[in-house]
Amino acid sequence: MLRSMTGFGTGRGVAGDEEVVVEVKSVNHKFCEVKVRLPRELAALETALVRRIKDRVARGSLDVTVKRSSRGAVGLVPVVDAGLAKEYRRAFAELAAATGVPDTTTVKELAGLPNVLKLEEPAVDLAKVSTALDSAVDQSLAALEVMRTTEGRAIEKDLLGRLDRGEVAGLGQGGERL
């Protein structure tokens, strides 16, 4: 049975608050070439993802797009540099002692000093994302295989029909060489 080299598959995986959607597009290529686009925070998973795909697909140029969303995540979260805040407090206490001026610094004032509070992306639970990613990849590759097989059957039917009608150059009825 023929299988086409072109196809598309999509899959969705969920683990806890993490949701991953994977889209795979495939076109003809002599070898198996996998190009992955994934969110920056998932870069550590790229090598395992490519290996997982190559274990299931022998040939083709595959474009893989990974999209992640987290139901519990917010855009950015404040992160405290407690060590720097303590150093500011130490410096203020030293300055107060040296000048005889009372140190009345509030937490709010301390938080407003450079680099004490930073806004960062929340940490990603790579184990949960990896579980969701595995499920999404399996689904997308299964859908890709179905599309490749369906298209392969159509190509095979078309070629056999052309052979029977003698439409293929260099071949006669039934496919014998001229």
> Between these two residues, 109 and 2, which has the higher pLDDT value?
109
pTM here is: 0.68
Q: How confident is the model at residue 74 (pLDDT cuts 50, 70, 90)?
A: low
Q: Does residue 176 or residue 50 have the better pLDDT?
A: 50
pLDDT for the residue 173: 53
Separation between Cα atoms, residue 65 and residue 47, nearest integer Å = 14
| Mean pLDDT value of segment 91-118 | 91
pLDDT digits (tens, 9 = 90+) for 27-69: 988 899 999 999 988 999 999 999 999 999 988 999 999 999 8
Task: Check if the beta carbon of residue 151 is closer than 8 Å to that of residue 141.
Answer: no
What is the rounded CA–CA span in Å between residue 100 and residue 54? Answer: 71
Cβ atoms of residues 169 and 58 within 8 Å: no
Reduced to 3 DSSP states, what percent helix, strand and coil does the chain have, rounded to the nearest 5? Answer: 45, 25, 30
Note the pLDDT of residue 120. Answer: 80
